[in-house]
Homo-oligomer: A and B are copies of this chain.
Amino acid sequence: MTSPDTSRSDRYPAGSAAFPHRDLTGLAGLAPWEILYLLDEAQQWVELNRQSHKRMDRLKGLTIINAFFENSTRTLLSFEIAGKRLGADVVNMHAAQSSVKKGETLIDTAMTLNAMHADAIVIRHQSSGAVRLIADKVDCPVLNAGDGQHEHPTQGLLDALTIRTEKGEIAGLKIVICGDILHSRVARSNIHCLTTLGADVRVCAPPALMPADIEALKVTPYHDFDAALAGTDVVMMLRLQQERMEGQFIPSPREYRHLYGLSLDRLAKAKPDAMVMHPGPMNRGIEIDSTVADLAGRSHITRQVEMGVAIRMACLDVLTRKARGLEGWA
């Protein structure tokens, strides 16, 4: 089960059976086959997680540190469960009690985690680029669990896996991502992932929440949600952060909902079998109506959570292979 099975081998370049990177700090720059490799690896964990006995000893003896400098519930839980199901010793470092508060530099914190001989460090941080900074200082694989407005690569991967599971292939799909594109690391990772895999990606946001350089990302920008929805296979809604709701970026939550909320009526503009996705936690009644969020057969929101654990298991497994004496990053 460790190496990709032969039926998948034609997706990867000759001689490249192993994932070639030590860290997963972002999806930008990954080759299509590298992303597919991680999705393929996750498949086995989707199946394991649906069984009663879902624990392997594969990472037994390894120490994984979840260093969360920014509060998180679901992502931390997902990584913790992923590490434990693979048999690793998982320890969580909570930001609120962190030495960082005592004036320690981020690099010193990183050096400390490194000196405890972690075999993988999972980091969430409020600053874009902080994860890369840490990765450059430590001796073990580093996984980005979300850094500022930069990337949230496992979210991008789990979304891609959710789509692939439903649609078979990602290439050629029309996918719209709607919400606060400007500040969203989820949007950024999804854009990199989905365009790399050949999807036709549209992004939709109010003018104040659209990046100025958006076209450089090879996506088509829209301000009119109805136009953006037309003929899409997948509708990904983003969470509207509380701090954007207070008049600085949008007039009011009510106005936002009117223009950019996903209602049943609006969803009808997408393809009849269009998937509805949301990274959670949802603001029901703001960016997404409850009738849509709960729409059987169309809403894949809880499926995304399920895929999240599998993707994180795949990433932890793949990136720690070298430490376990298996073929891994060079």
Contact = CB atoms under 8 A, between A and B. Distances in A.
A291 interface: no
Contacts of A63: 54, 81, 84-85
Size class of the A contact interface (CB-based, 8 Å): 35 or more
Interface in A39-67: 49-50, 52-55, 60-63, 65
Question: Which of A72, A96, A281 has most chain B Cβ within 10 Å?
Answer: A281
Given A108-B280, A112-B302, A305-B116, A89 B97 contact: no
Nearest to A75: B99
A110 B46 CA distance: 20
A115 B65 CA distance: 23
Contacts of A84: 63, 89, 91
B242 A102 contact: yes
A301 B114 CA distance: 12
A263 interface: no
Copies in the complex: 3
A1 to B, nearest CB: 16
A149 interface: no
Question: Which of A52, A60, A84 has most chain B Cβ within 10 Å?
Answer: A52
A93 interface: yes
A116 B312 CA distance: 12
A215 B325 CA distance: 54
Contacts of A76: 97
Given A73-B97, A112-B280, A282-B108, A119 B89 contact: no
Interface string A89-105: 10101101111001111
29 contacts: A52-B119, A53-B60, A53-B324, A54-B62, A55-B89, A72-B97, A73-B94, A73-B98, A73-B99, A74-B99, A76-B97, A77-B91, A81-B89, A81-B91, A81-B116, A84-B89, A103-B281, A103-B283, A104-B282, A105-B284, A108-B281, A108-B282, A111-B302, A111-B305, A115-B303, A116-B305, A116-B308, A116-B309, A117-B306
